[in-house]
Amino acid sequence: MSPVPSITQAVRQRISDALAAALPEAAGADPLLRRSDRADLQANGMLALAKRLGGNPRELAGQVVGGVATEGLIADIEVSGPGFLNITVTDEAIVRTLAARAADERLGVPFAERPGTMIIEYSQPNVAKEMHVGHLRSTVIGDALVRIMEFRGEKVIRRNHIGDWGTQFGMLIQYLIEHPHELDHREEEESGGAAMSRLNRLYRDSRAVFDSDPEFKERARRRVVELQAGDPETMALWQRIVDESKIYFNAVYSRLGVLLTDDDIMGESAYNNDLVALSEELEESGVAVRSDGALCVFFDDIKGPDNKPVPLIVRKADGGFGYAATDLAAIRNRVGSLHADTMLYIVDARQALHFRMVFDTAGRAGWLPDGVAHHLPFGTVLGKDGKPFKTRSGETVRLMDLLDEAVERAAEVVSSKAPDLSPAEVAERAAEVGIGAVKYADLSTSRSRDYVFDLDRMVSLNGDTSVYLQYAFARIQSILRKAAERGASAAAHPEVSLAPAERALGLQLDGFGETLESVAESYEPHKLAAYLYGLASQFTTFYDQCPVLGAPEPAVVANRLFLCELTARTLREGMALLGIHTPERL
Predicted local confidence at residue 187, as pLDDT: 46
Q: What is the H or E stretch that residue 283 is in?
A: helix 275-285
Candidate ranges 104-113, 197-206, 532-541; pick with highest mean pLDDT: 532-541
Contacts of 62 (CB under 8 A, 6+ apart): 79
Residue 323 reports pLDDT greater than 80: yes
> In the chain, what's the furthest Cα-to-Cα distance?
88
pLDDT > 70 in the chain, percent: 97
CB burial readout 313-350, b (16+ within 10 A) else e:
bbbeeeebbbbbbbbbbbbbbbbeeeebbbbbbbbbee
Question: What is the spatial distance between Cα 265 and Cα 275, in angstroms, rounded to a whole number?
Answer: 19
Question: What is the spatial distance between Cα 341 and Cα 332, in angstroms, rounded to a whole number?
Answer: 13
Predicted local confidence at residue 197, as pLDDT: 77
CA 298 distance to own-chain centroid: 33
Radius of gyration (C-alpha) of the chain in whole angstroms: 29
What's the average model confidence in pLDDT over 553-563?
Answer: 95
Strand 289-291 vs strand 294-297: parallel, antiparallel, or unpaired?
A: antiparallel
In this structure, the number of other CB atoms found within 10 A of the CB of residue 396 comes to: 13
Query: Three-class SS of residue 505?
Result: helix
Query: Three-class SS of residue 35?
Result: strand
**Could you report the per-residue pLDDT of 268-322, keeping only the tens digit for each?**
999 999 999 999 999 999 999 999 999 999 999 998 888 889 999 999 998 888 8
User: Of 181, 213, 211, nearest to 198 (Cα)?
Assistant: 181
Predicted local confidence at residue 195, as pLDDT: 67
| Contact present, 157 and 537 (Cβ < 8 Å) | no
**Could you report the per-residue pLDDT of 534-553, keeping only the tens digit for each?**
999 999 999 999 999 999 89
Q: What is the 3-state secondary structure (H, E, C) of 105-124?
A: CCCCCCCCCCCCEEEEECCC
Question: What is the spatial distance between Cα 180 and Cα 236, in angstroms, rounded to a whole number?
Answer: 14
Q: Mean pLDDT for the chain?
A: 92
User: Of 349, 326, 375, 361, nearest to 120 (Cα)?
Assistant: 375
| Contact present, 65 and 78 (Cβ < 8 Å) | yes
The strands making up 294-297's β-sheet, listed across from edge to edge, are: 289-291, 294-297, 312-315
Contacts of 252 (CB under 8 A, 6+ apart): 131, 192, 399, 400, 403
Query: Three-class SS of residue 158?
Result: strand
Query: Three-class SS of residue 366?
Result: coil
